[in-house]
Amino acid sequence: MVVNTISNEKESEDDGARIRSAAISHDIPLFTSLDTVEAILQVLESQSFTTQSL
């Protein structure tokens, strides 16, 4: 899974676009908004148990 929100910082903009396009061409789920990631987390958390060390 790829989370990528790089947009307007000039030097990293190309990088952001390259990572995004690589993710798409390899069919890896890509998210460009943290709100969508939050929604995904909500789904994953509702489906799983919590494991925590003491």
Q: Which residues bind other proteins (CB under 8 A)?
A: 1-9, 12, 14-30, 32-48, 50-52
Handedness of CA 2, 43, 41, 48 (dihedral sign): negative
- Beta-carbon contacts of 8 under 8 Å, excluding residues fewer than 6 positions away, are none
- Supply the DSSP symbol for 48: S
Dmax over Cα atoms in the chain, in whole Å?
45
Taking the complex as a whole, the smallest distance from the CB of residue 15 to other proteins amounts, in Å, to 6
Q: Choose between 1 and 54: whose C-beta lies nearer to other proteins.
A: 1
Q: Choose between 47 and 54: whose C-beta lies nearer to other proteins.
A: 47
Taking the complex as a whole, the smallest distance from the CB of residue 39 to other proteins amounts, in Å, to 5
